């Protein structure tokens, strides 16, 4: 079933993100990330913000936190002194709510505003794209050679071609990948990330 595939990709991407976070020494949480103006802690805070949007929406609550969206100044505030623990707590809380029933519910209002028929399953696909790219943003900034699963890269690249909006606080200008670049490098270039 397609929704099972969506959840599987979402969870596998979170596994990769978790593995990168688990390898970060405490003194590097405030290092610069590949996202302009955001530290590693800020990137984790932003990903946690997305999970909290999902969790609150699935429980019928409004999530009004302003420090986590794209372009916000200090999303790292959402994860405090222990970003790994904050991430894992939010991940666990959101995962407990993912069921066939909740996946069919309408997506949060700001997603529906762009696509009226969007569901929670569609929101998971957006989160998969976001988390996968931010995994590379963190790892590459810390000198980790992050290799993303090829099937995740293929699916995310397909989605990115359909939905990417380019702005200072989201994805940068499309770059030209080097000749013979692999799919991961081509995806990163499409999203404004340079591997050089």
| Predicted TM-score (pTM) above 0.85 | yes
Joined tokens for residue 12 = 């596998």
Residue 178 to residues 42, 122, 172, 196, Cα–Cα distance (Å): 30, 32, 17, 10
Mean pLDDT of the chain: 89
Inter-CA distances, 32 with 36, 40, 41, 138, Å: 8, 6, 9, 9
CA distance 51 to 57: 10
Position with higher pLDDT, 63 vs 135: 135
Span 117-139, average pLDDT: 93
Q: What is the pLDDT of residues 46-60, one digit of tens each?
A: 999 999 999 988 888
Q: Domain residues of the chain, as ranges?
A: 2-190
Judge: domain 2-190, CATH 3.30.360.10.
no
Other Cβ atoms within 10 Å of 133 Cβ, number: 22
pLDDT tens digit sequence for 184-195 = 999 999 998 887
Mean pLDDT in residue range 118-129: 91
């Amino acid at each position: 079933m397609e929704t099972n595939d969506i959840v599987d990709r979402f969870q596998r991407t979170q596994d990769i993100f978790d593995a990168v976070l688990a390898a970060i020494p405490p003194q590097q949480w405030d290092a610069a990330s590949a996202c302009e103006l955001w530290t590693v802690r800020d990137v984790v805070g932003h990903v946690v913000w997305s999970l909290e949007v999902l969790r609150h929406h699935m429980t019928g609550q409004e999530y009004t936190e302003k420090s986590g969206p794209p372009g916000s100044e200090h999303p790292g505030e959402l994860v405090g002194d222990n970003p790994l623990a904050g991430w894992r707590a939010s991940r666990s809380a959101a995962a407990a709510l993912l069921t066939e029933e909740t996946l069919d519910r309408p997506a949060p209002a700001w997603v529906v505003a762009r696509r009226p028929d969007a569901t929670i399953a569609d929101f998971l696909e957006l989160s998969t794209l976001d988390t996968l790219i931010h995994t590379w943003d963190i790892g590459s900034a810390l000198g980790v050679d992050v290799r993303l699963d090829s099937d995740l890269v293929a699916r995310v690249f397909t989605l990115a071609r359909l939905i990417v909006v380019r702005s200072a606080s989201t994805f940068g200008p499309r770059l030209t990948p080097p000749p013979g670049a692999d799919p991961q490098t081509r995806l990163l270039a499409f999203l404004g990330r340079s591997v050089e």
